[in-house]
Amino acid sequence: MQVGLLPEGATLPMSRVIAHELELVGSHGIQASRYGALLEMVQGAKLDPGKLITRRIRLDEVPAALMGMASFEGVGITVISP
pLDDT tens, the chain, 82 aa long: 555 677 788 888 889 989 999 988 777 778 889 999 999 999 999 999 999 899 999 999 999 988 888 887 778 889 999 8
**What region does 45 belong to: left with phi over 0, alpha with psi -120 to 50, or beta?**
left
H-assigned helices in 1-46: 14-19, 35-43
Note the pLDDT of residue 74. 74
Amino acid letter at 6? Answer: L
34 domain-assigned? yes
Range of the domain at 71: 14-81
Note the pLDDT of residue 58. 95
3 domain-assigned? no
51 domain-assigned? yes
